[in-house]
Amino acid sequence: MMPDNTFKRSSIVAIWVWLTLFALLPNLLVLMTSLMQQGDNELVRLQLTLNNYWELFDATYFKIFWHSIDIAAVCTLVCLVIGYPFAYFLARTESRYKAILLFLVIIPFWTSSLIRSYAIVAILKTHGILNSVLLDLGLITQPLHLLYSGVAVIVGLVYSLLPFMILPLYANIEKLDIRLIDAARDLGANRMRVFIRIILPLTLPGIIAGSMLVFLPAMSMFFIPDLLGGAKTMLVGNLIQNQFMSARNWPIGSAVSIILTALMGLMLVIYWRISKNRKEQQGLL
Amino acid sequence: MQNIIELKNVAKHFSDHQVLFNINLEVKNGEFLTLLGPSGCGKTTVLRLLSGFETPSNGTIIIDGKDVAGLPPHLRHVNTVFQSYALFPHMDVFENVAFGLRCKHLSQDEIEQRVAEALRMVKLEAYGHRKPQQLSGGQQQRVAIARAVVNKPLVLLLDEPLSSLDYRLRKTMQIELKQLQNQLGITFIFVTHDQEEALSMSDRVVVMHDGTMEQIGTPREVYEEPCNLSVAKFIGEANIFDTKILAADNKTLQVEIENKLFILKNRKKFTVDQTVHVLVRPEDLQVWSPQEVTDTQDMFAATVEQVIYKGCTVDLMLRLLSGKQLLATQFFNEDDEKLDYSTGENVWVNWIPGWEVILPHDA
């Protein structure tokens, strides 16, 4: 009992220390910075103000936020449409290549997503791989302008974030009791009805979890819009980066960060409430 | 009565593994038929062939006069009560039962009326708004039954529906299921590995073993006249004496059992030198203490090894001089109220002549 308890305690303490040092403290610093003033000579002036938040009530910032939500939503939807069938197949297949397929989903994590985004640039650019192939095949006569567009940003985001959609969906679909599908078919439901009435409601937790894991990072991955969207696409992530790096306005950058964090927190709370309600309804709590 | 289901030369194999061999079966309309066998004998596969979840590798399945080859499960007029119940966890009891009716696009009024009727039948009318997880095992079982019968299927398939209930509840549900079947007049095909359940509920029992049908008959036939050794061993306990026929004519045969000669009725036209098994059920064995009997000509001497008190009966494990072990079940009745046996006691054993079953030796 004793060594077991010591191990348990020390690992919990280690996690606490780690999270305090590298998550709680930095966030508190950002929160404090967002309440300070921009200095002329120093980075921040130690004077409390809510001005930074007031400044954000401005059409330009609203547009950036709205545009970010729009792009993140499209990206989430595309990930869901691509990821769901794949996750379903992966969870249901009895192929001996199942482990390899799952492995393929995880492999991209081994490379920095920045480098992978450069790879997409190499594929999509005017004299890139895709255009060369299409030209050689004679399918097009002029190279397509794919790079530096909204489409390229979506492609990059989807490519980077797809595993975050597939993995929770896979975990959820694999748990789905196949006998329920048999029961529904036995009772006269065709494929469409089985999917809508049985499979979809029962995999909803996976859909929500995957969507959040895609939606939230999609709003803040600044280097993908930078690399693939050119200067045209400005997302919340880019805004924060600009305020910190170019405009040197740390308080405003911090305020945007805090709002983004609050937005994500709000979504987490909503998700938690929904899943708690569902569990209560099912009598599991 | 017409046949509601016919299986003709049905076989099934999964990749290289054959699970069903040449099944021929006719089920009459309104019959309670039980498929009985140990796990892995192919009984559940027969159900899945009928419900359409599997397709036969060979042969024809006819339901209500129509060949159902290629007909998917949702278009077949049969419903299944699954072993695990498979109730939809995200729907309440009402919606679970209504599921099949909604698939048929019936009006809301008719759905409500029929679901209420089905729930009343299984005594769950007050539980419509509960989620399946909030019900006990027995109640979930009832919902599963209501969900199937509400569709008024031609045939109800039941895949070991009572196996996860405790003993007492299982007994109650056996009676309720039987009553329900009488009331509805629907053909029931019931799968179980519990021989007692099979005998007490069915009109006919199909005894299955290793993908073949060993015997079809009324519960009484399969118990009292098993057609071979594996049926005899699977249904009920049996004491088996292996022996050879010494002499035989049309009416009688002579065998030696435990060094004693017996003349028994020759019901199955056995011939001399044939190896046979003489089977005696434990309840057909009589046990006597030495002072009760004078003529021990046709009796075996035995020692009591174990006494198992079972309430209404006493089971005795007996050891013969040859070392063979026998099981004898003794009932309490007015002749024998005490049934006082102690281990190590010497007794005499015989059986009521004519109650034995003689089976040929399977190669």
Query: What pLDDT, in 10s, does the model give residues B103-125?
Result: 999 999 999 999 999 999 999 99
B105 inside 8 A of chain A by CB? no
For residue B87, the chain A residues in CB contact (below 8 A) are 183
End-to-end distance of chain A based on CA atoms, in angstroms?
Answer: 30
Q: Is residue A38, in this structure, part of any structural domain at all?
A: no
Give the separation between CA A1 and CA B49, rounded to whole angstroms. Answer: 54
ipTM of the complex: 0.81
pLDDT at A63 > cutoff 80: yes
Question: Which chain B residues in 146-165 lie under 8 Å from chain A, judged by CB atoms?
Answer: 147-148, 151
Please, are residues B144 and B82 in contact by the beta-carbon 8 Å criterion?
A: yes
pLDDT band at A279 (very low <50, low <70, confident <90, very high): low
Confirm whether A207 is domain-assigned.
yes
Contact A63, A236 (CB under 8 A): no
- Whether A148 has a pLDDT exceeding 50, the answer reads yes
Place of tokens 């059992």: B257
Q: How many CB atoms lie within 10 A of CB B338?
A: 6
Residues B208-253 pLDDT 10s: 999 999 999 999 999 988 988 888 888 888 899 999 889 888 888 8
Query: What does the DSSP 8-state code read for residue B361?
Result: P
Question: For A282, which of B80, B99, B131 is closest by C-beta distance?
Answer: B131
Q: Residue A1: is its pLDDT beyond 60?
A: no
Give me A191's structure tokens. 């494929």
Residues of A in contact with B140 (CB under 8 A): none
Residues ≥6 apart with Cβ < 8 Å to B147: A187, B87, B96, B97, B99, B100, B118
Q: Do A183 and B151 touch (CB under 8 A)?
A: no
Residue of A nearest to B146 (CA): A187
Give the C-alpha distances (Å, rounded to integers) separating B247 from A127, B228, B325, B356.
100, 22, 27, 18
Q: Does B90 touch chain A (CB under 8 A)?
A: yes
Distance from CA of B134 to the nearest CA of A (A): 6
- Quick one: CA dihedral A265, A267, A270, A274, positive or negative? negative
Tokens of B301: 């001497």
pLDDT in tens, A203-222: 988 998 899 889 988 888 88
Cβ distance of B99 and A184 shorter than 8 Å? yes
> In angstroms, what CA-CA distances link A230 with A2, A79, A129?
59, 22, 19
Fill in the amino acid letter for B11.
A
Say if the Cβ atoms of B131 and A185 lie within 8 Å.
Answer: no
Residue B103 contacts A where some CB pair is shorter than 8 Å: yes
Does the pLDDT of residue B81 top 90, yes or no?
A: yes
Contacts of A283 in chain B (CB under 8 A): 131, 133-134
Which residues of A fall within a CB distance of 8 Å from B74?
A: 185-190
For B236-275, letters b (16+ CB in 10 Å) and e give: bebbbbebebeebeeeebebebbeeebebebeeebeeebe
pLDDT value of residue A282: 56
Question: Cβ contacts (< 8 Å) between A182 and chain B: which residues?
Answer: 53, 73, 80, 82, 86
* Cβ contact A189–B74 (<8 Å): yes
pLDDT at residue A284 is higher than 60:
no
CA distance B328 to chain A (A): 44
B75 CA to chain A: closest CA distance, Å? 6
Q: Which amino acid is at B140?
A: Q
Question: In total, how many domains does chain A have?
Answer: 1
Q: Looking at the complex, report in whole angstroms how far the Cα of residue A78 sits from the nearest Cα belonging to chain B.
A: 27
- What is the reported pTM? 0.80
A81 falls within a domain: yes
Nearest by CB to residue A283, choosing from B79, B100, B133, is B133
Give the residue on B whose Cα is nearest the Cα of A178: B86
Quick one: chain B helix, strand, coil %, rounded to 5? 25, 35, 35
Residue A12 counted as domain residue? no
Question: Region A245-274: what's the mean pLDDT?
Answer: 87
DSSP secondary-structure letter at B332? -
Cβ–Cβ below 8 Å for A190 and B99: no
Calculate helix-pair angle for A150-175, A59-92, nearest 10 degrees: 40
Tokens of A102: 């799952």
Distance from CA of A85 to the nearest CA of B (A): 22
The residue type found at B335 is D
**CA closest to B156 among chain A residues:** A186
Longest CA span, chain A: 75
Using an 8 Å CB-CB cutoff, list chain A residues near B103: 187-190, 193
- Tell whether B129 is within 8 A of chain A (Cβ): no
Chain A nearest-CA residue for B78: A186
Residue of B nearest to A190 (CA): B74
Mean pLDDT of chain A: 87
As a whole number of angstroms, the distance between CA A176 and CA B88 comes to 11
Give mean pLDDT, residues A257-278.
84
Q: Is B362 exposed, middle or buried (0-12, 13-18, 19+ CB in 10 A)?
A: exposed
Task: Print the SS3 string covering B170-225.
Answer: HHHHHHHHHHHHHHHCCEEEEEECCHHHHHHHCCEEEEEECCEEEEEECHHHHHHC
Of B51, B72, B133, the CB nearest to A282: B133
Distance from CA of B280 to the nearest CA of A (A): 43
Tell me which residue range forms the domain holding A218: 59-277
- Kindly tell me if the per-residue pLDDT of A70 is higher than 50: yes
Whether residue A107 lies inside any domain: the answer is yes
Confidence of residue B336 (pLDDT cuts 50, 70, 90): low
Q: Which chain A residue has its CA at the smallest distance from B149's CA?
A: A187
Q: Is B2 helix (H, G, I), strand (E, B) or coil?
A: coil
Does residue A22 lie in a domain region? Answer: no
Is the pLDDT at A107 greater than 60? The verdict is yes
| Surface-to-core class of residue B169, CB atoms within 10 Å of its CB (0-12 exposed, 13-18 middle, 19+ buried) | middle
Please tell me which residue of chain B has the smallest CA distance to A183. B86
Subunit contact A182:B73, Cβ cutoff 8 A: yes
Q: Label residue A2 by pLDDT band (50, 70, 90).
A: low
Examine the pLDDT at B69 and tell me if it is beyond 70. yes
A178, part of any domain: yes
Is the minimum CB–CB distance between B51 and chain A shorter than 8 Å? yes
Give the helix/strand (H/E) hosting B142.
helix B137-149
B72 touches chain A (CB under 8 A): yes
Cross-chain residue pair A202–B104, CB shorter than 8 Å: no
Going by C-beta distance under 8 Å and a sequence separation of 6 or more, which residues neighbour residue A168?
A: A206, A209, A210, A213
- Average pLDDT, stretch B23-44? 92
Pairs across A and B, CB distance < 8 A: 65
Phi, psi angle pair for A269, to nearest 5°: -65, -45
For residue B73, give the nearest of A179, A185, A193 by CB distance: A185
CB B51 within 8 A of CB B78: yes
**CA–CA min distance B10, chain A (Å):** 21
Whether residues B88 and A282 touch (CB distance < 8 A) is answered with no
φ, ψ at A164 (rounded to 5°): -70, -25
Give the model confidence (pLDDT) of B174-211 as tens digits: 999 999 999 999 999 999 998 889 999 999 999 999 99
pLDDT for residue A285 = 40
Which among A210, A89, A174, A183 has a CA at the least distance from the CA of B91? A183
Mean pLDDT for chain B? 90
- Beta carbons within 8 Å of B183's beta carbon, 6+ residues apart: B121
- Dihedral in degrees, nearest 10, Cα atoms A212, A218, A222, A227: 150
**Residues near A103 by Cβ (< 8 Å), separated by ≥ 6?**
none
* Tokens standing for residue B118: 């089905």
In a domain, A27, yes or no: no
Contacts of B81 in chain A (CB under 8 A): none
- Of A183, A202, A281, nearest to B86 by CB-CB distance is A183
CA separation for the pair A279, A282 (Å, rounded):
5
Query: Could you write out the three-class secondary structure of chain A?
Result: CHHHHHHHHHHHHHHHHHHHHHHHHHHHHHHHHHCCEECCCCCEECCCCCHHHHHHCCHHHHHHHHHHHHHHHHHHHHHHHHHHHHHHHHHHCCCCCHHHHHHHHHHHHHCCHHHHHHHHHHHHCCCCHHHHHHHHCCCCCCCCCCCCCHHHHHHHHHHHHHHHHHHHHHHHHHHCCHHHHHHHHHCCCCHHHHHHHHHHHHHHHHHHHHHHHHHHHHHHCCHHHHHHHCCCCCCHHHHHHHHHHCCCCHHHHHHHHHHHHHHHHHHHHHHHHHHHHHHHHCCCC
Task: Name the range with the highest mean pLDDT among A46-55, B212-221, B254-263, B309-318.
Answer: B212-221
* CATH number, position A215: 1.10.3720.10
- In the sheet with B325-331, reading across from the earlier edge strand, the strands are B285-288, B346-351, B300-309, B313-320, B325-331
Phi-psi region of B39 (alpha: psi -120 to 50; beta: other; left: phi over 0): beta
Query: Any CB–CB contact under 8 A between B136 and chain A?
Result: no
Q: What is the pLDDT of residues B271-291, one digit of tens each?
A: 888 899 999 999 999 888 888
What is the rounded distance in angstroms from the CA atom of residue A55 to the CA atom of residue A58?
6
Share of chain A above pLDDT 70, in %: 95
Which of A176, A179, A180, A186 is the best residue to mutate to test the B interface, defined by the most B CB atoms within 10 Å of its own CB? Answer: A186
Determine, for residues B74 and A190 on separate chains, whether the beta-carbon distance falls below 8 Å: yes
- Given strand B260-265, what is the order of strands in its sheet? B260-265, B252-257, B239-248, B275-280, B357-360
